[in-house]
C-alpha cells in the first residue's frame, strides 16, 4: 500500500503502538485533570473559609508542591514511595504526582476566583437567609467558574504536556511510543512532528471544552 521505508508505511506499521500511547496519554491527562479539579475545588474553598489549622496545612501543601519541579514529584512518587515500602505501578505514580501537582495549582486558582467576588454578593446571600453552603453553591461558585476557566484551561494543558515526563519511569505514553517507533525506522523529524500534532489536537479539545463551559455560564453576571 505504501512504499517500504516511507513515513506512511512506518506509521501504518506502528499504528497500534502509537494509538496505545495516545490512549495512555489521554487517560492519564483525563484522570489527572479530574483529580486536580476536585482537589482544587475542595482546597480552594478550604483556603478561603476553612478553620486556620486546615488553612495552614493546605497553604503548606500548595506552596510546597507549586515550588517543586513536577519531574521531582514524579521521581519521588515512584522511587521515593518504593523506598518507604509503598509499591505502586508507574501509571499510578504518574497519577499521584501529576494529580497532586494539578491540585495545588487548582486550589490556588479556585481560592483566587472565590475571593475576587465582591463581598456584596455574600452579604446579599446572607440578607435573604441563605446558609453558608447555599451561598457557596448558588452565589459564589457559579460566579467563580467564569473567572477560573482561563487558568483552569492553562493548567489542564500543562498536565497533558506533563505526561511526557512519565516516560522516565517507564510509562509508555505517546512520547515514549513515538521514541520506540523512531528507534526502529530513524524517521526522527516526521514522527516527532506527528506526535506534536497529536498533542496539539488533545490540547485543542481541552480548550474547546473550556470555551463550551464559558458559553454555558455566560448568563452569570457579577
Closest to 122 in 3D by CA, of 109, 140, 137: 140
Q: Using one digit for the tens of pLDDT, what is the confidence trace for 55-112?
A: 999 999 999 999 999 999 999 999 998 888 889 999 999 999 999 999 999 999 999 9
Angle between helices 15-49 and 141-162 (to 10 degrees): 140
3-state secondary structure of 70: helix
If 0-12 CB within 10 Å is exposed, 13-18 middle and 19+ buried, where does residue 8 land?
A: exposed
End-to-end CA distance of the chain: 60
Q: Please provide the size of the chain in residues.
A: 222
Mean per-residue pLDDT of the chain: 91
**26 contacts: CB under 8 Å, gap ≥ 6:** 202
pLDDT in tens, 25-42: 999 999 999 999 999 999
**187 touches 82 (CB < 8 A):** no
Domain 7-216 CATH (choose: 3.40.50.720, 1.10.1740.10, 3.40.1350.10, 1.10.3720.10)? 1.10.3720.10
> Residue 145: which of 208, 202, 216 has the closest Cα?
216
pLDDT grade for 2, boundaries at 50, 70 and 90: low
Amino acid at each position: 500500500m505504501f512504499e517500504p521505508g516511507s513515513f506512511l508505511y512506518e506509521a501504518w506499521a506502528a499504528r497500534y503502538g502509537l494509538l496505545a500511547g495516545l490512549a495512555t496519554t489521554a487517560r492519564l491527562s483525563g484522570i489527572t485533570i479530574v483529580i486536580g479539579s476536585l482537589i482544587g475545588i475542595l482546597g480552594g474553598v478550604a483556603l478561603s473559609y476553612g478553620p486556620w489549622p486546615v488553612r495552614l496545612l493546605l497553604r503548606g501543601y500548595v506552596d510546597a508542591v507549586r515550588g517543586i519541579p513536577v519531574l521531582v514529584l514524579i521521581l519521588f512518587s515512584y522511587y521515593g514511595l518504593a523506598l518507604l515500602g509503598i509499591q505502586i505501578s508507574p501509571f499510578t505514580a504518574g497519577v499521584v504526582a501529576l494529580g497532586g501537582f494539578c491540585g495545588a495549582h487548582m486550589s490556588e486558582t479556585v481560592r483566587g476566583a472565590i475571593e475576587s467576588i465582591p463581598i456584596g454578593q455574600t452579604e446579599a446571600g446572607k440578607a435573604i437567609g441563605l446558609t453558608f453552603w447555599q451561598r457557596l453553591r448558588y452565589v459564589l461558585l457559579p460566579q467563580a467558574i467564569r473567572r477560573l476557566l482561563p487558568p483552569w484551561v492553562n493548567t489542564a494543558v500543562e498536565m497533558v504536556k506533563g505526561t511526557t515526563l512519565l516516560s522516565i519511569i517507564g510509562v509508555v505514553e505517546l512520547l515514549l511510543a513515538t521514541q520506540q517507533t523512531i528507534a526502529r525506522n530513524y524517521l526522527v523529524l516526521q514522527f516527532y512532528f506527528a506526535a506534536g500534532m497529536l498533542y496539539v489536537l488533545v490540547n485543542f479539545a481541552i480548550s474547546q471544552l473550556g470555551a463550551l463551559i464559558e458559553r454555558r455560564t455566560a448568563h452569570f453576571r457579577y
